[in-house]
Amino acid sequence: MGHSFVRRLSEFVSSRDAEWRNLRLEESSIKVSFLGKGGGRVSDLFSDQFRRFVEAVTPDVVILQIGGNDADCPSAEPRRLTINIFSIAEWLLGYGVKHVVIMQLLPRQLTRRVSPVVYNEFIKTVNQHIKRMASTRGDISYHKHKGLKGSPTNVFRRDGVHLNDAHGLPKYVRSVRGAVIVGARQLSS
């Protein structure tokens, strides 16, 4: 669940071979569903659309990719954004979700409302807060994306925000797949 990265991830895997539609995971043990909203902010996840999705799918594990659009705001505060993201995780747990994986907020090359330098420092701080807070929980974890930051190949589209099909999205798919596996393992521990 989350913002445009999730929507684009869903479109990307849907356009690939059938085996990719479930992130190359065995559907008999793990069923992957996607809900992403372009331009989505943390507050959007409290909407009826997301609530109905959670009620209909009844997931055991939810992977959250949210917060990037909230961070691109001059009045944003790292601690407040972290608390808001954790509020979503708590809300999901209240709906019967057993484990929530909060994904690392990703850097951007271009931003709309704050400079990329300010944005990237901001999300670095938010990621540190999320990681620290999640470390004290058994039902919420933090997942750092692998292969996207500092990649030798450009992973971004021309907009400087979204991941490209050639390098970024394939790495993102693998990272999200890893987060799903980690979340599923938490259920059996």
What CA–CA distance (Å, rounded) separates 152 from 59? 36
What CA–CA distance (Å, rounded) separates 179 from 169? 15
Best CA proximity match to 105, nearest among 51, 41, 48, 24? 41
Domain total in the chain: 1
pLDDT value at residue 150: 73
pLDDT value at residue 152: 67
Residue 147's pLDDT band, with cuts at 50, 70 and 90, is confident
Q: Output the pTM of the full model.
A: 0.96
The residue-averaged pLDDT of 9-20 equals 92
Give tens-digit pLDDT for 50-67. Answer: 999 999 999 999 999 999
Residue 18's pLDDT band, with cuts at 50, 70 and 90, is confident
Give tens-digit pLDDT for 85-113. Answer: 999 999 999 999 999 999 999 999 999 99
DSSP string, 65-122: B--HHHHSSTT--HHHHHHHHHHHHHHHHHTT-SEEEEEPPPP-S--SSS-HHHHHHH
The residue-averaged pLDDT of 117-127 equals 98
Angle between helices 168-188 and 4-14 (to 10 degrees): 100
CATH of the domain at 45: 3.40.50.1110
Host domain of residue 167: 4-188
What CA–CA distance (Å, rounded) separates 78 from 86? 12
Six-digit token string for 19: 């085996």
Q: What are phi and psi of 32, to 5 degrees?
A: -100, 130
Q: What are phi and psi of 106, to 5 degrees?
A: -95, 150
pLDDT value at residue 19: 82
Q: Does 151 have pLDDT greater than 80?
A: no
